[in-house]
Amino acid sequence: MRVLVTGAGGFLGANLCKRLQADGHDVVGATLNRKGHTSLDALGVDVRLEYGDIQDGAFVERLVNAYEVDWVFHLAGVSIVRVAAQNPARATITNILGTVNVLEACRRAGHVQAVVVASSDKAYGDWGGVAYTEDMPLKPSGAYEVSKACADMITRCYGQHHGLRAMVARCANLYGPGDLHWSRLIPGSCKRAIGGQAPIVHPSAWDYQREWLHVNDAVDAYILLAKRGEAGEAYNVGSGQIVSVGQVAGMVAKALCAPMPERGRRVMPYEIPAQRLDRSKLTEWRWFAGVKLLDGIENTAQWYRDFLRRGHA
């Protein structure tokens, strides 16, 4: 297959490109980052790249048509909750307009067989810790959540009413090798622990319940959706492994023989206190997350140890 991955330089994008290439697909990535030091570099992935902004509809349309792509994985956008809270206009414009541009380019091209768009479990909003099912109404509140919910609904609209086989993946919290967003819990905790310092967890987040999904399992699910997903549908992608933020930071510290986590002082933007996904829809296809959290944390911690020892920051 000829495949386009937007946001190819990011954490999930780089891991997806790596797997697609290993499976023999012809991959082109789109990225805004011309400076390097991306997850592609960190993982040693050499993929054809096109540089541009997904807010530029002409750029997106040129990629879809010039490479005559069969599958499109749309992962580009503002992906950090804190960044979206600080600049809600940027998050809204990038995540919504970028998605519209990708979907419209694919619809107009006529040759795209599947479009899988990255949504998020955060699009559901706060349901008091009840497991999310795909038929629940989306009721987001923060800038990140609202922008992802809008992109989610627009994608399903194109799939249901505009003749495009487009669908969304609502993933749990991703972790694994190659994530260079040091503000995220696991990369930041690994970096501090490798330096002999205790991971820092913000007090408001310490007891947040999150479902943790290894990036390899997410990649498996995305490729499965490109092959089998139905137009206009949403799919939860989770592991069933729900552990508090404080506990995960402790697992990182233990894996790297570092001091136990400490509570920070900085005030964080509001986040949903408890999240979990009902995975029934995907498990009907015999898809299951294969990486156990403790094993995944230990392997991820070792990857960061090796990465930082090679002189990367």
| Each residue's pLDDT tens digit, 124-161 | 999 999 999 999 999 999 999 999 999 999 999 999 99
**Statement to judge: residues 167 and 50 lie in one domain:** yes
Nearest-angstrom CA–CA distance, 301 and 187: 8
Residue 280: inside a domain: no
- State both tokens at 246: 């404080």
Asked whether residue 193 falls in the same domain as residue 270, the answer is: yes
| Contact by Cβ (8 Å): 206, 260 | no
Q: Are 297 and 154 part of one and the same domain? A: no
Catalytic residue, candidates 124, 144, 175, 208: 144
CB atoms within 10 A of CB 87: 13
Closest alpha carbon to 300 in 182, 181, 184, 186: 186
Q: For residue 304, give the CATH number of its domain.
A: 3.90.25.10
Q: Could you tell me which residues are beta bridge partners of residue 263?
A: 201
- Domain identity same for 114 and 74: yes
Q: Based on the domain organization, do 39 and 183 belong to the same domain?
A: no
* CA distance linking residue 36 with residue 52, whole number of Å: 14
Tokens 């498996």 -> residue: 220
Rounded-to-integer distance, Cα 144 and Cα 206, Å: 21
Report the alpha-carbon distance of residue 168 to residue 153 in Å, rounded: 9
Q: What is the pLDDT along the chain (313 residues), one digit of tens a residue?
A: 999 999 999 999 999 999 999 999 999 999 998 777 899 999 999 999 999 999 999 999 999 999 999 999 999 999 988 898 899 999 999 999 999 999 999 999 999 999 999 999 999 999 999 999 999 999 999 999 999 999 999 999 999 999 999 999 999 999 999 999 999 999 999 999 999 999 999 888 899 999 999 999 999 999 999 999 999 999 999 999 999 999 999 999 999 999 999 988 776 677 899 999 999 999 999 999 999 999 999 999 999 999 999 876 5
Quote the number of domains for the chain.
2
From CA 17, how far away is CA 5, in angstroms rounded? 7
In a domain, 128, yes or no: yes
68 and 124 share one domain? yes
Q: Is residue 284 part of a domain?
A: no
d(CA 21, CA 37): 20
Pairing, β 114-118 against β 71-74? parallel
Regarding whether 151 and 14 lie in a shared domain, the answer is: yes
Q: Are residues 92 and 228 in the same domain?
A: yes
Beta strand spans in 181-288 (E): 200-201, 209-214, 234-237, 242-244, 262-263
Structural domain range at position 191:
174-211+241-275+291-309
Q: Is residue 281 part of a domain?
A: no
DSSP, collapsed to helix, strand or coil, labels residue 8 as coil
Active site residue 144: yes
Q: What is the pLDDT of residues 41-69, one digit of tens each?
A: 999 999 999 999 999 999 999 999 999 99
Under the phi-then-psi rule, with left for phi > 0, alpha for psi from -120 to 50, and beta for the rest, what region is 166? beta
Task: Give the rounded distance of the alpha carbon of 45 from its chain centre.
Answer: 18
180 and 138, same structural domain? no
CB neighbour burial string for 251-287, b if at least 16 within 10 angstroms, e if fewer: bbbebbebeebeeeeeeeeebbebbbbbbebbeeeeb
Same domain, 67 and 100: yes
In a domain, 286, yes or no: no
Q: What is the CATH number of the domain that holds 228?
A: 3.40.50.720
